[in-house]
Structure 1
């Protein structure tokens, strides 16, 4: 049986925020302003070589380690300037706060998440952030949601979770009795769907 909603848990990446642009795209944008026309893929190849050469000068010659460094530096952005908040995120979080609901984050991320959310102006809405680094497990392992429920201190039926991944967010949260909703901005699925974060208005009022 569904209980009254008391907590809303959020995924972050591609739910509340998205990566603004890839490194390759940013380099190409700067190149265009200087009168050059370069494809993003070419810029990425150049940037990868630059990272390898930089660490090679520091006597790093482990190929596997260099590959990992390149991948992490290229894909994982930790500054808020590299993230874009979806237009409906601010108003939805404010709406939930105005309703007296407590909110938390359950995210496959690390300790950098707090700084990103602070820089994007979202941190004050959350009573806790639970990252996979802190939890020791990552979605779709249900244990991360179990830890989140302990922090909420209410039955799973009184908790809503909203995320963009069908298995990691939707199916896993619902397997524990949480009211899981899939934020599907691309309309690719057909169950308990929210096409935007603003749809939470209706969902919470009906709950």
Structure 2
């Protein structure tokens, strides 16, 4: 089965006429469609506390940022293709954070129990919220017959998250990078989305200069960056949307 065939279409307009110009807009997930309710350090410290650990939330935040970047470099795409996959990847990250931020290093059993709880909680509404303006925006875009998708560096929990927030109904497809042999900024993930939608004009919306804006443009797409970046980031101001709710103004 080819990669395109593995995508699940969610709207009835899945077949696009080859004679009609079609528009596709895809979204990153984290910090674009959904946002964390708490900083990782705060939540890790709270869960660890229930297991008898004393964890510094600020230190856990610093450790999380450091080890997240380091582990992604060591094992890209959340450990895809390696023994244990994404679950082991996140368990390793949790263990490193607890070791750095705990007053007393945890036992392997305690660290494993904390990791199991965190893996479950980060699959649901306990840790996430929808970005402000996301639902009204998606409703308006869907009403315009713009095809919508998600292209995100994420593990398989993304599907469950979008369903729990009732966002799945708006998307023709959802590409969680872990389910494929490439992730952003690889141009193949954007080509997969384009071919899957059969679209002529494609725009990607995200919050990362490198993974979303630059990667999409390198793939021949239009791109819009949500949020703010320093001038030296090299983002065209015309492609910088301060609020997701205002995105339509940047899609014309």
Change (3 A) 1:23 1:110: closer
Question: How far apart, in 1, do the equivalents of 2:144 and 2:103 lie?
Answer: 47
Q: Residues 5, 48 of structure 1: CA spacing in aligned structure 2 closer, same or farther, 3 A cutoff?
A: farther
- Correspondence for 1:11 among 9, 28, 48: 28
Instruction: Please give the per-residue CA displacement for 1:27-80, whole angstroms capped at 9, x wherever unaligned.
Output: 7779xxxxxxx95247863499456343689xxxxxxxxxxx95x958x92223
* Inter-partner Cα distance in structure 2 for 1:47 and 1:4: 60
Q: For the aligned residues, what is the CA RMSD?
A: 3.6
- Specify the alignment match of 1:203 in structure 2: 250
For the Cα contact (< 8 Å) 2:224–2:250, is it kept in 1?
Answer: no
Counterpart check, 1:110 vs 2:127: no
| Rounded Cα–Cα distance in structure 1 between residues aligned with 2:163 and 2:138 | 14
Aligned to 1:188: 230
Following superposition, the deviation at residue 7 of structure 1 comes to 1.2
Q: Deviations over 1:98-155 (max 9, x none)?
A: 1111100000012110100111121111110011112211101111111111101122
Determine if the alignment matches structure 1 residue 133 to structure 2 residue 178.
Answer: yes
Task: State yes or no: 1:89 paired with 2:129.
Answer: no
CA distance in 2 between counterparts of 1:166 and 1:154 reads: 24
TM-score of the aligned structures, taking structure 1 as reference length: 0.74
1:150 aligns with 2:195: yes
Are the structure 2 counterparts of residues 56 and 165 from structure 1 closer, same or farther at C-alpha, using a change threshold of 3 Å?
closer
CA distance in 1, matches of 2:160, 2:104: 26
Change (3 A) 1:52 1:172: same
The CA deviation at 1:180 is: 0.9
